[in-house]
Chains A and B, each alone.
Chain A
Amino acid sequence: MNYIFDGTYNGFLCCVFEYFEYKDSNVQLQVEGDDDAQTALFDSSKTIITDISKVKRVQAGLQKHLGKSIAMDFFRVFLSEDRKAWAASFSIICQIFLGKTNILGNYGNEEVLYFKQTLKKVSRERHRMKAFIRFSRSSDGMFFAVVEPDFNVLPLIATFFKNRYADQKWLIYDVKRKYGLLYVKENVMEVKLSPEEKHALTTDTVITLDEKDEHFQNLWKRYYQSTNIEARRNMKLHLQYVPKRYWKYLVEKQ
């Protein structure tokens, strides 16, 4: 049976609810609007409606079995946007609700191993975003940054930036997923930008930078060069730590 859901984590949890309500066999997850969801219309399939009361029940169940922080791991893995990891998650959650509560310790199991490996990848990307985000200061005092993370990790770094940069206005925008986090006066909110605003953010032409911003960017580049020890040059290691796909938004790699 194909379950077609809306592609959100809440929708995903509703698929779990559906499975336990109707005990369908051979469940495959598909996202509305995906190519494979189109053809799936001819197989036996049903559209899962996201219902917040069902979400809450599944979430409460997960938390009861695993504790709050491990239950969160399913959300983290979901942010990978990797369909294979979603399938593994679905299967693992179902087995947990069927009584195998300690299944997550079984690294010998292919699905668990894949789930854990994906979890690690997402956590690494989350950590990288904490490290690699570079703010520019605009003339009106807003600190803004553009990112293109491999996974949809903005929800996982909001609290970190909120606590750290509590006294400045900031915006972090994910160009790949077309939304951002905006922090103003103690609140982080999710924002979508109009095409003009988005253009302004990614080209630096419309937003006027603070007059000192370029000065500090230059000083940072100078520091970055001076703190390198040429006799220890190790480009292989350098690339391993700072893969090229991140260079685009790193001031010191420009």
Chain B
Amino acid sequence: MERIEEKLKILADAAKYDVSCSSSGSKRKNTGGIGNASASGICHTYTEDGRCVSLLKILLTNHCIYDCAFCVSRKSNDVKRAAFTVEEVVDLTMNFYRRNYIEGLFLSSGIFKNADFTMERLMRIVKKLRLEEKYNGYIHLKTIPGASEELIKEAGLYVDRMSINLEMPTEAGLKMVAPEKDHESVKKPLAFVQNQIQEYKAESKLIKHTPQFVPAGQSTQMVIGATPETDLEIMNVAKTFYNDYKLKRVYYSGYIPINTENSLLPQVGSRPPLVRENRLYQTDWLLRFYDFNLDEILNPKHQQLDLDIDPKLSWALRNPQYFPIDINTADYKQIIRIPGVGRQSAMKIIQSRKFGRLSEYQVKKMGIAFNRARHFMRCADTPIILGSSSMEYVKQTILQRNSNKYLKETSSAQLTLF
């Protein structure tokens, strides 16, 4: 294997646990060179795990001075180490980009020497791409916690997105596996970048040609299932970060056991909590796009999400008093609360009912999950049944009718982690 190929193998392998691969949200134009951003983002391929590949996601190096138990690049881990040169990263990015393999670069790094030294090296790559190669494609840069504000500010002028990972959802959880780290060192730079974004936005209203500053915003990631937080705790943290730092995304990454020495972490070989991860994303979506309040879905009485059914269905079963909802009269906000009806279907229903009352056969074809939705909605031709069936009965009917892809997994490996 060529040396560059081996480096790519090592440094892509070490970077893959960062789940973000989003390339959306930036409007950078091609100004007399190569490349631009696509507002909706483009996934150029998908790996066999079903994850999108839109960016060349690599570490500059996997040498690291820290020893975080959950991280594959921790100092004490016996893995091969490698480091790219600035030229190598630029060369790979440009050649992949010109062949339409990727939307851009996702650049992260282990910390070598200190934060500023690492950040400065990352900046060299970014600047070479933008200034020498005249590259206008997408760049996602990891903010290195502890790097100076001058460096972070300069980076923001060249990249599309910045992110820093919370790693563990709570400070207590983080201390268990990474005693050298704390949430404060994540919050500070997130807040700093957010302030800068707002300043540039305010300025651009007054001055015509203000440079773009992190146009695709910031994101963060939490590892799920490595430490014992409840779903309620996790979503509370997510909510706080969305509110306080106006994050574009919070990513939830089911922990994949990679450490044989730490007895606090799930053992190597145990399955990653993929269903739980999926339920957290569904909850995240309900909060951001479906106008749900967190305490409707998770609260002290109900601290964990159900694994066998989705959180909207779970909420509906606990709140039968809101149903059935008449899709011919209810407003948009009510219709999107029907389990199995998404935002697009709700819009179709609202538009179409202007032409006449809608019947079941029409709504079925609009792309809703009828098997779930039928128990919670009323169409023009829905027969009126006296007395309502119990919600427990509804749940059983739905689960039976669905050859539920989650049931197999939820009954076995999922719960044993806790």
Which residues of A are at the interface with B, using a C-beta cutoff of 8 A? 102, 105-109, 113, 127, 130-137, 143, 145, 160, 163-168, 212, 216, 218-220, 222-238, 240-242, 250-252
Contacts and interface: CB of A to CB of B under 8 A. Distances in A.
Given A107-B351, A165-B98, A219-B8, A234 B34 contact: no
B8 A222 contact: yes
A218 B5 contact: yes
A102 B38 CA distance: 31
A163 B256 CA distance: 40
Q: Could you say which of A132, A143, A220, A236 has the most chain B C-beta atoms within 10 Å of its C-beta?
A: A220
Given A164-B34, A168-B34, A232-B51, A107 B99 contact: no
B33 interface: yes
Contact of A237 (B50, B96, B354, B365): B50
The A interface, classified by DSSP as helix, strand, loop or mixed, is helix
B100 A109 contact: no
A226 B13 contact: yes
A232 B98 contact: no
Nearest to B45: A252
A87 to B, nearest CB: 18
A50 B43 CA distance: 40
B47 interface: yes
Contacts of A105: 351-352, 354-355
Of A160, A164, A250, chain B has the most CB atoms within 10 Å of the CB of A164
Given A106-B355, A130-B42, A132-B44, A166 B98 contact: no
Interface in B347-376: 348-349, 351-356, 358, 362, 365-366
Q: Which 10 A-B pairs have the closest CB atoms?
A: A237-B50, A105-B351, A232-B49, A228-B47, A226-B12, A234-B50, A241-B46, A107-B352, A108-B362, A106-B355
Nearest to B13: A226
Contacts of B36: 163-164
B204 interface: no
Nearest to B274: A232
Contact of B8 (A106, A113, A223, A250): A223
A242 B50 CA distance: 9
A231 B352 CA distance: 45
Given A137-B98, A232-B274, A163 B30 contact: yes
Interface residues of B, number: 56
A101 to B, nearest CB: 13
A177 B370 CA distance: 39
B92 interface: yes
A167 B99 contact: no
Interface string B99-119: 111000000000000000000
Contacts of B5: 218-219, 222
B272 interface: yes
A63 B99 CA distance: 37
A216 B40 CA distance: 27
B16 interface: yes
B274 A108 contact: no
A145 B100 contact: yes
Of B38, B48, B92, B351, the most chain A CB neighbours within 10 A belong to B48
B351 A219 contact: no
B343 to A, nearest CB: 14
Contacts of B35: 164
Contacts of B100: 133-135, 145, 165
A210 to B, nearest CB: 10
9 contacts: A105-B354, A131-B45, A167-B134, A220-B99, A222-B8, A227-B53, A228-B51, A229-B256, A230-B49
B57 interface: yes
Interface string B378-391: 00000000000000
A230 B16 CA distance: 11
B9 interface: yes
Nearest to B350: A105
A252 B53 CA distance: 11
A220 B101 contact: yes
Given A107-B366, A135-B100, A143-B99, A238 B4 contact: no
Contact of A108 (B45, B271, B358): B358
Contacts of B32: 166
Interface in B268-302: 271-272, 274
A123 B4 CA distance: 38
Given A107-B366, A135-B100, A228-B47, 8 more contacts: A131-B45, A219-B92, A220-B96, A228-B48, A232-B272, A234-B49, A238-B49, A241-B50
B210 interface: no
A137 B44 CA distance: 18
B56 interface: yes
B256 A216 contact: no
B397 interface: no
A218 B45 CA distance: 16
B95 interface: yes
The listed residue with most B CB atoms (<10 A of its CB), out of A143, A145, A252, is A252
Interface in B72-128: 92, 95-96, 98-101
